[in-house]
Amino acid sequence: MSQDFVIEEVRDLDAAWPELEALLRDSHEFYMPIVGYGPPVDWISEVQSRFRPGPDSMLLLARSEGRAVAFANAYLRTTPGSPPPRFIYVDNVYVLAEARGRGIGSALLSCFESWARERGVEEIRLDVFASNDHAVDFWRQAGFTIRAHSMSKSLAGAAS
């Protein structure tokens, strides 16, 4: 089966921003029922600062027939005293609904795996909402295992 998409590394965030912003807006709509909240008011400036290209970060865009259909970003992280001391952290992976099931998510992950190996990094980590069954299944099928449980307690509206 031939691939009907291409993956490109984003090196000029300003040039790619209109397409990335559209994908981010779509991702917020998709995730809102899963996570129970929407993006913060100032999300655009926060995301732009996180997505800036650098030696320890990678931002990818997937295109099909010239149209942006997915994005992913990851960072090289260092945690002295916590093995392994260096790992790649996948911050976001999002594929438009109509482009799912075509191997785009796997291709994005493959790019991050190659990037990690080039840097001598032996582990990739990420966080996924437990209620996002589709994503949990995807990451498990890709070989990821549960490393820790992240828990939270909302204090909003709670009596003290």
pLDDT tens, position by position, 113-132: 999 999 999 999 999 988 88
Each residue of 39-88: pLDDT tens digit?
A: 777 788 888 888 888 899 999 999 999 999 999 999 999 988 777 789 99
pTM > 0.85: yes or no: yes
What does CATH list as the number for 6-141? Answer: 3.40.630.30
Give the Cβ contact number of residue 122 at 10 Å: 11
Q: How far apart are CA 67 and CA 57, in angstroms?
A: 23
Non-local CB neighbours of 18 within 8 Å, separated by 6+ positions: none
